[in-house]
Chains A and B, each alone.
Chain A
Amino acid sequence: MSTHGHARPISKKLLTPGFYAMAVLSIIGITIALYRFAFGMGTVTNLDNNYPWGLWIGVDVASGVALAAGGFTTAFLAHILHRHKYETIVRPALLTAMLGYTFVGLGVFTDLGKYYNIWHLMLPSMWQFNSALFEVGMCVMMYLTVLYIEFLPLVTERFIGRVDLPGILATINKPVDACLRIAQRTLDKLIFVFVILGVVLSCAHQSSLGTLLTIAPYKVHPLWWSPFLPLMFLLSAIAVGYPMVIFESMWAHKSFGLKNDMQTLSALARIIPFTIGLYLAVKIGDLIYRGAYIHIFDNSKQSNMFLVEIVFGVITPFLMFAFARVRKDARLLFTAAALYVLCGVLLNRVNVFVVSYQPQFTGYSYVPHPLEVLLTIGYIALLMLLYRVIVTIFPVITHHE
């Protein structure tokens, strides 16, 4: 990495007003969660017998998983294809994935009626291989572990030779250092296994997440219900990896007052028209094949949301990324990435899990409870807070002179 700047901890002041604002939002979110754990889902959500899944599944879980796809897509590029020039984006993407999946886990935990039974997933006697949700749960659990392992080298890099524990603990400085060194050497030898495993696990559960709603053909709107949902979830997740890296990197660099590495980001953006293009092609092909395109101009809530998703979220960014001028212009590049991330994927997941879901015996729609929204915002704030703290301690972000 010596030729393209070093990743090192951010030295900017941590405790800014923004930091405190995030902290307040997090505390509100956590308070709502605690209330919900004590008194039940019904007290803070608008979920009911007709709408068992809502905002938390659509945003915290499904979108969380999709938007953490930067982790495995950049690992693939830099460590499996060995394109070392992308080395600088691997660490921020890894951190985002690690925090993203932690947040997914937290989201699932909060959404489970019997959250205290979450460990049942680890009991082989309860494994139920016919369930797509089982597969999602398993892979997310394993991938989260893999992500923490992949992050360990940053810990060793940061602390080897620098272990300086306070007070009485100082006596174990040496042993801790020795442990870190052993960890580093072992990881060096084995990390490639985890890198590949991470990609395999990601492909598996990104697609299984799409399988979830195929079991409800009578309730999911035909614009989204398809036997190809798993394939579309996988392709859109692969496609969102790099836009997410661009989106997040430009945002982070701006808030840390650092210069963007436009060269790397523009190069990365050249891949995106192919990945989004493939997703778009499958999506259109699927609509035509199933004859579901007849619903596009229904002017219903579903059809309008579908149009927003596909026109602003997929077609627009696809065309934008295809132009070299867009890829080289920081502002346009950021816009294209943000469009795909927010309208193409986040909205898609919300559409599939919330908007498209229409039970047949009800006339009303589910609208999230304000506390449901606040909890999600709180969790996102917590995630950003942790990101901020971690980049301050560990060498994640590369500084360009």
Chain B
Amino acid sequence: MTVSRRNFLKLMGLAAGTLAVGRVQAHTGGSDTAEGGFGMLTDISLCIGCRSCEQACHDINAMPEPDEPFTDPGVFKKYRRMTEKTYTVVNKFNSVYKEGLPVYTKIQCMHCQDPACVSACLVGALQKTKEGPVLWDSWKCMGCRYCMIACPFEVPAYEYHKGIEPRVMKCTMCYPLVKQGGIPACASVCPVEAIKFGPKKELLGYARERIKQHPDRYINHIYGEHEVGGTDWIYIAPQDFATMGFLSLSPEAPPRLTEAIQHGVFKYFIPPVLLFGVLGLTMFLTKNNGGEQNDSHHTSLGDGGGPHVKGAVKK
């Protein structure tokens, strides 16, 4: 079941137009990595399904032993997702245009530009770096798993079987390597260069160029260019993304609605303070009102505290 794209847009419009609590604010979350940040591009038409990237990712991140060896083609029999043991997986689908042939897709965290996981985390344990990668901070995390609820791509996994120091697990875009000027392990190991790393802007330009030059090889859709406000990991593909387990997502980033609600309700603390004032005033004005029974009596909550006025509005 999916909320259809049109429906979702309608909802977003509704929220923006009629929520009494506030207006949708300008983009506030995340850093704008369209300029300057790095990204990754996966060219699905090139991938041969060798799973070298899975292996490289496992090694560089010192991940726990996998359930099946990386050389086992049997894993393609069923659709796999990321788990606490792996940041990335490759899946096999049927080619739509070349009968009998497969296509392979590598999936991992999309490193959204306006990440829902970052907006959701209550202690700021997830952050969008200026370089592009979205990172998780073990020291800050409380393990509430709200980031997993929020992620539209259903990426983060969790170490449910650890009592102490369970981790939120997701691809880091090999931040430690990137930071030192290197390139992510999966990109450097790929034998057919299906995974590219570089400045996001250049990758987008390159992707557009590829599609223009080879209209026979690619459909005209860069996945991640607009989805949920844009992602720093983008894809080009020979066939519709929906045929390969990719979700159809609206260009509106989910945090835009929630943050509009949050900041509307708490804008400069005006609404709560206003409510406090109104309630205080009501309390003051009805002071002698409920005296049906015994208003001079000292109630359990010490009405003596309320301001006393003679001749306040009577019921």
Contacts and interface: CB of A to CB of B under 8 A. Distances in A.
B162 to A, nearest CB: 5
Contacts of B157: 49
Given A52-B145, A114-B165, A360-B2, A218 B152 contact: yes
A153 B302 contact: yes
A202 to B, nearest CB: 10
A9 interface: no
B265 A133 contact: no
Contacts of A78: 290, 299, 301
A101 B184 CA distance: 47
A81 interface: yes
B158 A4 contact: no
14 contacts: A76-B279, A82-B295, A113-B142, A117-B140, A118-B142, A120-B142, A131-B121, A131-B122, A133-B146, A153-B302, A203-B275, A211-B262, A227-B15, A360-B1
Interface in A281-297: 289-291
A42 interface: yes
Nearest to A84: B290
A268 to B, nearest CB: 14
Interface stretch (A10-18, A183-191, A304-312): A183-191
Interface in B83-110: 83-84
A42 B255 CA distance: 29
Interface string B97-137: 00000000000000000001001111111000000000000
Interface in A101-127: 108, 111-115, 117-118, 120-121, 123, 126-127
Q: How many of chain B's residues touch chain A, expressed as a range?
A: 35 or more
Nearest to A359: B154
A37 interface: yes
B142 A112 contact: yes
Given A113-B142, A189-B302, A196 B283 contact: yes
Nearest to A125: B124
Contacts of B280: 192, 196
A327 B291 CA distance: 24
Interface string B1-41: 11100011011101100010100000011000000000000
For the complex of A and B, the 3 pairs showing the least CB-CB separation, nearest first, are: A113-B143, A42-B160, A227-B15
B121 A128 contact: yes
A148 interface: no
Interface string A202-243: 011001100111111111011001111010000000000000
Given A117-B141, A215-B258, A1 B300 contact: yes
B304 interface: yes
Interface of A: 1-4, 7, 36-43, 45, 47-50, 52-53, 75-76, 78-85, 87, 90-91, 108, 111-115, 117-118, 120-121, 123, 126-135, 137, 150, 153-154, 157, 184, 187-193, 195-197, 199-200, 203-204, 207-208, 211-219, 221-222, 225-228, 230, 289-291, 357-361
Nearest to B275: A200
A222 B124 CA distance: 29
Nearest to A38: B163
B297 A2 contact: yes
B300 A126 contact: no
Contacts of B279: 76, 80, 196, 199-200
Nearest to B247: A360
Contact of B14 (A118, A188, A227): A227
A132 B21 CA distance: 15
A120 B150 CA distance: 21
A192 B283 contact: yes
Contacts of B158: 49, 52, 113
Contact of A82 (B19, B276, B290): B290
A400 to B, nearest CB: 15
Given A40-B161, A218-B247, A49 B81 contact: yes
B79 interface: yes
Given A230-B261, A291-B7, A79 B1 contact: no
Contacts of B149: 52-53, 212-213, 215-216, 219, 357
Contacts of A126: 123-125, 140
B289 interface: yes
A81 B302 contact: no
Contacts of B306: 192
A114 B143 contact: yes
A85 B286 contact: no
Given A82-B283, A84-B293, A227-B257, A189 B304 contact: yes
Contacts of A37: 163
A81 B282 contact: yes
A13 B225 CA distance: 70
A79 B275 contact: no
Contacts of B124: 126-128
A277 to B, nearest CB: 19
Given A39-B161, A79-B283, A189-B305, A200 B294 contact: no
A43 B305 CA distance: 51
A82 B261 contact: no
B261 A227 contact: yes
